[in-house]
Amino acid sequence: MKCREMVELMTDYLEGALSVRDRERFEEHIAGCDGCRAYLEQMRATMKTVGNLADEPIPETIQEQLLEAFRSWKATSS
Ligand SMILES: [Zn+2]
């Protein structure tokens, strides 16, 4: 699985919406990829905050911001 796919699956993973097979692939990648692990942690924290405020899905803007942060992390670390 590529990092790009991971980003797309991130919300589904945190919502428990992934199939068993996808979740296994996801966790396999997370175990070996610092960037995705950091991104997941950030995403988890964001979802928790947003979830406390309102029972709504993450606003597009926040997802974009996280994606941006993730991209710059990748850019500086490689
Ligand atoms: Zn990755």
Rounded Cα distance between 57 and 1, Å, is 25
What pLDDT does 68 receive?
A: 83
Better-predicted residue by pLDDT, 27 or 1:
27
CA of 72 to the centre of ligand 1 (A): 13
Q: Which residue has the tokens 């199939």?
A: 19
**b/e per residue 18-57 (b: at least 16 CB within 10 A):** beeeeeebbeebbeebebbeebbebbeebbeeeeeeeeee
CA of 32 to the centre of ligand 1 (A): 8
How many domains, in total, are found in the chain?
A: 1
pLDDT tens digits for 13-60? 988 999 999 999 999 999 999 999 998 998 888 877 776 665 666 667
CATH number at residue 66: 1.10.10
Range of the domain at 24: 3-77
Rounded Cα distance between 35 and 71, Å, is 9
CA of 24 to the centre of ligand 1 (A): 14
CA of 38 to the centre of ligand 1 (A): 10
- Whole-structure pTM value: 0.64
pLDDT at 78 over 60: no
